[in-house]
Structure 1
Amino acid sequence: MKIKPPPLHSDGVCRFVGNRGFALVVTLSLMILLTVIAVGLLTLSSTSLRSSSRAGAQQQAQANARLALMLALGELQSGLGPDQRISASGGQQLEEGDKSGGNHWTGVYASWTAGSEKRPSPIFRRWLISGDESVVTNPAAPQSSALATKKVSVVAADADHNAVEAGLIDLPSGGCAWWVGDQNMKAKLGGAVEPVIDRELAVARMQSAPRAAHEVFLGSAVAAADPVQDRLLTVKSADLVGRPAKPVFHDVTTASLGLLTNVRGGGFRKDLNFLLETPKPAANSAEVSPLYTAGSTAGINLGELWVDHNVWAELEYPSGPPTHADGGTIPSGMPFLVSTADKSDPFLLYKHLPRLQLTLLYSLISKSKMVGSVKQYDLFLVADPVFTIWNPFDVCLHNPQSAFATFKSWAIPYDLNLKLENGPAGSKAAYTNSIKKLSNDRLFFFYGQLGRGQNLVMRPGEVQIIAQGFGESIKNVPGGSWQFDGKLGWEFASGYAYPIPYETDPELMNGAQKITYSMTPNTIKSDAGMFLWSYNIGELVDSSGSTKYVGSFNIDLVYSRLASESPIAASSFPKIFPTLPNDPSAAKTIAQLEGNKWPICVFTYGLRTEADPLFEADPTSGTRFTGRAMLRANETSVAQDLYNLSPDIVRASPLQVGMRRVNSLNSPIIECDSNGLGYYGAEYGASGGVSHVITRSIPREPIHSLGALQHGAAEGTRFGQARGEKSWFLQPSTSRAISNSFAPSIFAPGEVRGTLAGRDAADHSYLANLALWDTYFYSSIKPRTTSANKNSSTAYREQKERLESFLATDRKSYKPLPNERMRAWSSDPKVTLDAIFSSNKPTAEAADRIASYLMVDGMFNVNSTSVAAWRSFLSGLKGGKVPVSPTPALKKNPDLVETAGTPVASLLEPGAAVIDDASLSNSAGRDQWLGFRSLKDEQIEELAKAMVKQVRRRGPFLSIADFINRRPGSDKDLALSGPLQSALDDKDVSINAAFREGERALSVAEATGQGFPFPEAEAGAKAVAAPGYVKQGDLLTTLGPLVAVRGDTFVIRGYGEARDTSGKNVLARSWCEVVVQRVPDYLDPSDKAYDTVPKSKVNLVFGRRFNIISFRYLDSREIS
């Protein structure tokens, strides 16, 4: 369009004629103004046209960016919609310190499916990023990052990370690119956490961390309880709490929810809070079926888990508690486990007196009598039977008179050999007899009855010495076997005297004989067995003629022999039953022994300890073992067996025999304090042991973390089986099997099953974790005051009320579950409630279906390689309060102890406050056996770095159990322990450093010398069961409910560009971002969310639906 200027006048003369001249000027001015406007309009029109053209290009770029999102969502739906998929970080393919964008690629793998115990090689599907097909389907692609010829940035670079670049996809109208990030690999921030005000909430949080620590990123200026935490809706809003010191896009999210799906079997996990909340199940029913087997022997079973789940309701809180034998009172309302008189009580493992050691002190003494004018001396063998018993729990233990215990012991398999010199003419020069013959030739040497003649009350963790008690004298033993009432305490002046017929002619018994002695193991083989220390409830034989044997510590017991085995003799095992040779320097005349008890030897039979000073000093004491004794000694076992003393069982068993010489009262015999307490922990003496050791918690309400099952009694004992003197569990003895992962040193690195002394044996931890962690979970929908086993109507009503208040949609009625991370997925609370409860009882499908109505806030994908995210995740209890019930100074209500660091849930209610790290090198430090660790920020950082090192080395984790368990195989480092335990024991992590040094550790050379097939598994820290030693089970108690191996929340970034008609010049660019959430519902609604195997072909391929949570366009400055 052109504008013509007005024509000029032809005369060219300018005349001024009055007003007419003025009009001309105005006319010319208006014409000029019009011209300017016209030119302006022309310019504006051109600009508008160009703007319109650019707008069209921008719209096209945005459309292409949205197309990229759709392409990404399609790949995400097909890749990670199905349950049996896992997602892993590209950082697993890269070395530490690598900053390339490949660190932040999300890889999709097939999971380790159910039905196979051997971990498969990872089956890689693709990287969730646009690029050449040959690249995105190559699992090693992050190492080169050559996604495509043309790439575009979708996430900006920062000081610690290079930009994430995606491959450009050519389109007719331009191009697009996309990238998917797993939000569950990041620390989830946001949401105020209310402070702990009571024990119930404190214990609940010990089993489910309420948050990830924002302090890692935002500092500690704002408290976790500050309402401003509720305003953390996006990562950018973190500035409301505290400006991050560095960009946190790759480490932090404010949106991450996880589904409780079973990545191995598909479908949802089963809820143990419903499955185990039942009246007592029947023996041999499906409700008590084993989780695994070894050979023909069943392993840990659901019946044992039922016992562990319901033991809390067995606690009694007497208003008038029994008085302790030392005269001390117990506060009213303290929790008690009370021993049962019912041999078939399923809770017997918890309600009996745990035994540590039987000690038999043998001494010589003489007594004179006047026969006419001549003194005659009778010689006696004095036996002091001493029991060391222990309450390993964090509650009191009472053994009432109605359920008193009878401990029975056989005579030790030794001969006493006396050399007699300087006696009168005709006197004997020697005397030899077996201890069995000297003790009235009875197989049963004695019966000690505990809790009958004296109140037997044990404070939490208490170690007691039970013998004749204080102030007792030596008593003569009548014919036959004898029994005594065990009392608290022991003194050297006591004992039971058996006559030694060293002379047949009384006239030769003038006391002149000088005695030296030796002790030699028997050559006798008994059909009944070699040795036994048994436990019986009540009288050995009751009025009906029956016995209530519940278990024994045996050697070669007839009932435990295999058909191919025959009796054995002690003399065939000189390293176990050493000879105490004659020592000429240890000599006394019989007259000198009048009224003077002369100790000659101490025989012990009991649990090993980390140190063994009483025997290490005696070169004649035979072969003894230290090592990881408490890891093998299940404190709740009523029976242990050394079988036929084959080398493998002697190495593996927590039991061992001790025989040592003592020649005077100055020799260490039995250490007992003035109150009758003994010592345990690192040793049975005061120099390295302590009188209170708590290793297991009895929950005050049902647990809600699989990690807390480490406190359970489960060891592979068939539910409902008959109990007797035989040892019944699947070998070997194990403690804290579930959630921990220490390789059994009795197997080669690649083995999880085998035999021990010809009996079936298994790696209990590996097989139990494999069966549990992907298949089951705890919802924390549980009763408050009683169990269904005690009162099903009340328990179920309380369960229903808890679920109902959790589903409530109004703030006034809503109450979170004990696991505060649980979120409801329900469009209609009433429909959901009716689906789980029919009337006031859970439906038969409740355990199978409840997970389909739940999601977990802050679920963490352990395939993450973000050190910062791991730091935050591991610090979930930072600054939390811990319920401490101090012992022995008991209190009815626990103290809520504030912590500056991150407390470790080794015990649910510790018996002492924070353990000083500086005290850990001293095994006699009391608090390390009672209290709890609080990890400093520096220790958490060390652990996070070590954890990422493990993730890079072992990843991807193809199931949760793959993350929990060790990796059996030829690589000893991977076979040694699970990744979390390996990180804790990393040389660069100081948390357990004190236990890896000096006498507190066993070297590989020492373990090799002891003959272990996997010596590296026996080496290392000995005190692995002490509360002061941090185990992976301790951390999983708190973090286990939040662990996943896949993401369910994702951020997708899409890029689009528009080009000119030549296709070479970019006219416009656009970036957008969407957050999507995988939900319980299937993509095709024809299948129910709780259907394990969907019928729809669509759902078989694409799995569960992704919902779009948020969408936004990004400013180019967020990318550059």
Structure 2
Amino acid sequence: SGFPGYGKLPDYEIKSENFDENKPEEGRFLGWLISQDPKDSSSPAPDTDVAPSLNETSQTVPLISSKTIGENAEADEVHLEPVLVEGGEAAYAWWIGGENTKANLSAPEPQPNANEGWDQRMASTGQADATYFDIDEPEELGKVASRRNLDLLTSSASAADSVSGQNFHDLTVNSRGLLTNTATGGWRRDLSLMSEQWSTLPNTGLPFFTIEPGRETRASKANGASNPQSFLLYPWAERDSKNDDRYWHFRTNAVTTWSALQDFCTQYKKISSGSTDGNVVMPINPGGSGNGSLTIIRDQHNRFPILARMHWVFSYSSKTNPQTTGASDAFIACIVATPVVTFWNPYNVELTIDNLSMFDFQLSPLRLAITVGSNSFNPQPLSLLRGVKYERSGNGNVRLDPQGNPKVKSGRNTFLLRNSDGGTQITFKPGETHIFSPYEGVKDVPYTLGGNNDVLNSDFRVTLRSGYRTQQGFRFELRDPDSGNNQLITGSALDLFTADASFDGGYRGLGEDAGIYANVNANGTGTGVYRLSIASGTASTFWPPQTAINNDETLGALSGKVDAFCSALFGPKISNKAGILSKGILHSNPLTSYAKRSWRNPNGSGLFQSSGGGHPVNWPYDFKFYMLNGWNDEGSPSGLSDESIGYIGPSHRSGLSLNRLIMAHVPLRPLQSMAQLQHFDLRQHNATPPYQYNLIGNSHAHPLFSPTGTHLAEDSNGKPFPINNFHQYDDSYVANHLLFDDWFVSSIAPDTNAYQKTESRSLEGVYEEHLSGSQLLPNHSYLPAELLDKEAARQRAAEHLLEKNKAERGPWYHIASKLEVQGMFNVNSTSVDAWKALLRHQKDNEIAYLNADGSINLDKTGGNPIARDSLAGEAVAGGGVNSSGEGFFRATEYTGYRRFTDGQIDALA
């Protein structure tokens, strides 16, 4: 990779190659964990391909046999030949098996008595299911001093076949571990204290990552600066070095910053209101004051409704020609454009937005081939058919692009989004969608020509209100760009009016690309920047041209009428069935707004072309185009004029779609586990593929990478570039390498009131009670290395939470040395029974989930619950509760959490 500490591909072979101190990089195997004659351990080297036999022979002695594990368990026995000591007067034999490969059994915690209690149990409680091992009284496990005592807690064991014996290799009652970095040495760093004590940390020199034993990086806080040093999570990644915010979207980083990670961990501090019943409200971010700069977007966690669907419906219409010369041009051919916009709150909190608006420069990337009567016109982008102003040189000539197409200055289409009463405030419940459409009937777009026959007033503003209404929108007269003077397209009353469509009609104006160029704003703040384009010449490969199916209307019949003939949809892939093909958010993060095929180098002067950015399969968003035969066809929007509910996917049709979906969970209290970082948008605003979400804790590689690749080191043309300019990483591998070896979450943080930011116990109080044993940490697996009385705990807590060896190494760096871990489990364990018991750790537990109104319910339907977050976004999949899609019987299959059967758990084990 060119950078020390970068995630290396696992070399599994090196583990089975014998270690040679003269060539340490070629092998790591030292020997088997059994007794052996010292003369045999050095020469010849042990055979790593064949494990030593543990079977009984006439030369062996029993170490683990029937007296320990019961009769008829020969395969689990351990027998070794004793090693004679010098002189032959004695012998010894030993074998080591780790307790951390077994399920640690402990007394179950008391049943929670409130919603948040079940929420927090899902977040951090991982006790093995003792009943799997026929323990009849698991609540008595706290009194068990040894493995043998387990036989007293079951009624099914016999003396010859006891619980402790038959499960010797599968269970334990004493498994303690330490929080060490097993990759590069030292103690793990604590994300809890790092994020909670962030303001006390120095701005620079922070040792956030161990490159190799004894060598650490020196990271920095971003602190809102445009060009800080070493502020990115990946210490080898590109830094911006240009202060101009106008083009930040060209220069976004490969990953976000340490400041953004800290901001995510402390999101609970942003709660505006909440209660034990849920109904958590947070302010939008970015929000207000016109500040949507790079540093805000880069260093803070977003909380803002996103554009779920831009759904354009295009309809035939006509109007009488006031300048007619006779029957042949009595009517002007017109198109009515109906913008139907759906916004979606993907978060688990309520958001209220004020003065929401958006604009685009294209009425979708459509190119229409208009036919009126016997007159057929060349296919033209909508931008030209409505009479858009040309770009002209100083002498008045029309500028051309490299392909010879005229350059145009697109009109800016602005949409003001209002609630059903026309008010500017719109509230989104968790996961909720809102649909907006025109409400004032059909409005004509004003049209004024300048002296050179260019349109002077090509911009327009339309107010959309909550709800969906048909046959409304804005109407524009069609003009023939080839005429040279924006000549109207007219015809007689009996002339048929049809339009065939292709989908390569420009991006911002015309140019070489086709796609969308749209911005979302709230209170003057730029909150969403939607850019997605493809080379015009290849668009037809993915979206072939389509012929009109609504082809029997005449200009006379269309006068004053709005007859839909085509629709164009833009939205995240999860809003249609393409999300299934792209494995949902694994390959298409719907929080992504800016999607580009290139990015700028650090000084902003040049572009790098991404690999895969030009192919729709790698996009986070998608286009869909339909030819319609009226307003009720499949490609038309769905909804009611008096209801604000929209649809997010897997379709846009009522009865086939979700009207709410919680996908992005912000922490509602301090973190208790590294797994809760799965909702941290690590690639936030990286504009190049792969657009992945839920990266932390996920090991799903994107197909952009080869089976052994962790990044793309050359552009789409095969040109290599240095590592600091890499933007395309297998982040699920690289980010987990960076975080999981070096960090842990102690949960030493303020104890907050249920779903509020107010504290019931301070951080210091939480740690004091942990040291005295009076109350466990929120993550109950972490125990004090030394249990103290109350007064000593108070003094020691103050010392631990203030100690500093150096300015940059505070408590977050050292606290792991003060903790032990109860029940550590080695993921390399080969005990199937141990895995079964551990994977049943939530067996029959109740699950807290969010209702459509943001309140919380409890669900208990048996089995082993598996959820995407400790507070699920919906009731159990396939159950009787469905608040995610009225009339859509499969809704909870998309939104509900799962309850696995014991058989499914056993199969996983």
TM category, shorter: 0.7 to 0.9
Whose Rg is larger? 1
Once the two structures are superposed, residues 253-308 of structure 1 have per-residue CA deviations (whole angstroms, 9 ceiling, x without a partner) of 11001111000111110000011222485245578432355688643542332232
User: Is 1:175 the counterpart of 2:175 in the alignment?
Assistant: no
Distance in 1 between residues matched to 2:109 and 2:488, nearest whole Å: 86
In structure 2, the partner of 1:142 is 51
Match of 2:877 among 910, 915, 918: 915
Match of 1:338 among 274, 284, 301: 284
State the Cα distance separating 1:605 from its structure 2 match.
Answer: 2.2
Secondary structure of the structure 2 residue equivalent to 1:870:
helix
Change (3 A) 1:634 1:454: same
Match of 1:443 among 402, 407, 410: 410
In structure 1, the partner of 2:72 is 159
User: Is 1:494 the counterpart of 2:472 in the alignment?
Assistant: yes
Change (3 A) 1:840 1:182: closer
Distance in 1 between residues matched to 2:804 and 2:271, nearest whole Å: 25
State the Cα distance separating 1:156 from its structure 2 match.
Answer: 1.4
Match of 2:29 among 101, 109, 124: 124
Secondary structure of the structure 2 residue equivalent to 1:180:
coil
Contact 2:18–2:30, Cα closer than 8 Å, also in 1: no
In structure 2, the partner of 1:748 is 706
User: Which amino acid counterpart does residue 699 of structure 2 have in structure 1?
Assistant: S
Equivalent pairs counted in the alignment come to 760
Once the two structures are superposed, residues 1072-1120 of structure 1 have per-residue CA deviations (whole angstroms, 9 ceiling, x without a partner) of xxxxxxxxxxxxxxxxxxxxxxxxxxxxxxxxxxxxxxxxxxxxxxxxx
Distance in 1 between residues matched to 2:591 and 2:176, nearest whole Å: 39
Structure 1 segment 118-267 matched on structure 2, within 5 A: 123-132=28-37, 134=40, 137-142=46-51, 144-145=53-54, 150-157=59-66, 158-160=71-73, 161-171=75-85, 172-219=88-135, 221-222=136-137, 224=138, 226=139, 228-243=140-155, 247-267=166-186
Contact 1:272–1:777, Cα closer than 8 Å, also in 2: yes
Change (3 A) 1:248 1:629: closer
In structure 1, the partner of 2:242 is none
**Taking structure 1 as the reference length, what is the TM-score of the superposition?**
0.62
Match of 1:823 among 741, 760, 783: 783
User: Which amino acid counterpart does residue 187 of structure 1 have in structure 2?
Assistant: A
Once the two structures are superposed, residues 1007-1049 of structure 1 have per-residue CA deviations (whole angstroms, 9 ceiling, x without a partner) of xxxxxxxxxxxxxxxxxxxxxxxxxxxxxxxxxxxxxxxxxxx
User: Which amino acid counterpart does residue 859 of structure 1 have in structure 2?
Assistant: M
Contact 1:682–1:923, Cα closer than 8 Å, also in 2: no
User: Is 1:774 the counterpart of 2:687 in the alignment?
Assistant: no
Change (3 A) 1:836 1:317: same
Distance in 1 between residues matched to 2:542 and 2:254, nearest whole Å: 31
What 5-or-longer segments of structure 1 have no aligned partner? Answer: 1-91, 94-106, 113-118, 320-329, 423-427, 557-567, 614-623, 718-727, 945-1120
User: Is 1:390 the counterpart of 2:352 in the alignment?
Assistant: no
Contact 1:185–1:864, Cα closer than 8 Å, also in 2: yes
Change (3 A) 1:122 1:464: farther
Change (3 A) 1:684 1:760: same
Distance in 1 between residues matched to 2:91 and 2:144, nearest whole Å: 35
Distance in 1 between residues matched to 2:778 and 2:16, nearest whole Å: 33
In structure 1, the partner of 2:860 is 898
Match of 1:273 among 192, 216, 237: 192
State the Cα distance separating 1:824 from its structure 2 match.
Answer: 0.1
Secondary structure of the structure 2 residue equivalent to 1:658:
strand
State the Cα distance separating 1:571 from its structure 2 match.
Answer: 4.1
Contact 2:176–2:821, Cα closer than 8 Å, also in 1: yes
In structure 1, the partner of 2:750 is 783
Distance in 1 between residues matched to 2:863 and 2:26, nearest whole Å: 39
Change (3 A) 1:257 1:508: closer
In structure 1, the partner of 2:679 is 711
User: Which amino acid counterpart does residue 846 of structure 2 have in structure 1?
Assistant: K
Distance in 2 between residues matched to 1:840 and 1:785, nearest whole Å: 27
Change (3 A) 1:896 1:518: closer
In structure 1, the partner of 2:728 is 761
In structure 2, the partner of 1:626 is 581
User: Is 1:290 the counterpart of 2:222 in the alignment?
Assistant: no
Structure 1 segment 518-533 matched on structure 2, within 5 A: 518-520=500-502, 526=510, 530-533=514-517
Change (3 A) 1:521 1:932: closer
User: Is 1:835 the counterpart of 2:784 in the alignment?
Assistant: no
> What is the Cα-based RMSD across aligned positions, in Å?
4.1
Change (3 A) 1:679 1:182: same
Match of 1:314 among 260, 270, 274: 270
What 5-or-longer segments of structure 2 have no aligned partner? Answer: 1-11, 158-162, 200-220, 240-252, 389-408, 447-456, 599-608, 718-725
Contact 1:355–1:390, Cα closer than 8 Å, also in 2: yes
Contact 2:222–2:231, Cα closer than 8 Å, also in 1: yes
**Taking structure 2 as the reference length, what is the TM-score of the superposition?**
0.75
User: Is 1:586 the counterpart of 2:551 in the alignment?
Assistant: yes
Change (3 A) 1:913 1:353: closer
Distance in 1 between residues matched to 2:583 and 2:113, nearest whole Å: 38
State the Cα distance separating 1:482 from its structure 2 match.
Answer: 1.3
User: Which amino acid counterpart does residue 498 of structure 2 have in structure 1?
Assistant: T
State the Cα distance separating 1:918 from its structure 2 match.
Answer: 12
State the Cα distance separating 1:874 from its structure 2 match.
Answer: 1.4
Structure 1 segment 693-708 matched on structure 2, within 5 A: 693-708=661-676
Change (3 A) 1:827 1:418: closer
In structure 2, the partner of 1:987 is none
Distance in 2 between residues matched to 1:335 and 1:132, nearest whole Å: 68
Contact 2:675–2:697, Cα closer than 8 Å, also in 1: yes
Distance in 1 between residues matched to 2:586 and 2:307, nearest whole Å: 16
Change (3 A) 1:509 1:762: same
Change (3 A) 1:266 1:465: same
User: Is 1:417 the counterpart of 2:360 in the alignment?
Assistant: no
Secondary structure of the structure 1 residue equivalent to 2:676:
helix
User: Is 1:575 the counterpart of 2:557 in the alignment?
Assistant: no
Distance in 2 between residues matched to 1:331 and 1:795, nearest whole Å: 17
Change (3 A) 1:528 1:293: farther
Secondary structure of the structure 1 residue equivalent to 2:351:
strand
Change (3 A) 1:915 1:531: closer
Contact 1:823–1:854, Cα closer than 8 Å, also in 2: yes
Change (3 A) 1:671 1:143: farther
Distance in 2 between residues matched to 1:690 and 1:415, nearest whole Å: 31
Change (3 A) 1:122 1:292: farther
State the Cα distance separating 1:730 from its structure 2 match.
Answer: 5.6
Once the two structures are superposed, residues 431-454 of structure 1 have per-residue CA deviations (whole angstroms, 9 ceiling, x without a partner) of 764311233415144112335844
State the Cα distance separating 1:214 from its structure 2 match.
Answer: 0.2
User: Is 1:927 the counterpart of 2:892 in the alignment?
Assistant: yes
Change (3 A) 1:883 1:573: closer
Match of 2:437 among 463, 467, 483: 467
Once the two structures are superposed, residues 852-900 of structure 1 have per-residue CA deviations (whole angstroms, 9 ceiling, x without a partner) of 000111111112111111111112222323222222x442xx2333352
User: Which amino acid counterpart does residue 261 of structure 1 have in structure 2?
Assistant: T
Change (3 A) 1:140 1:508: closer
Distance in 2 between residues matched to 1:360 and 1:268, nearest whole Å: 56
Distance in 2 between residues matched to 1:313 and 1:782, nearest whole Å: 12
- Of structures 1 and 2, the one scoring higher in RCO (CA 8 A, sep 6+) is 1
Contact 1:354–1:637, Cα closer than 8 Å, also in 2: no
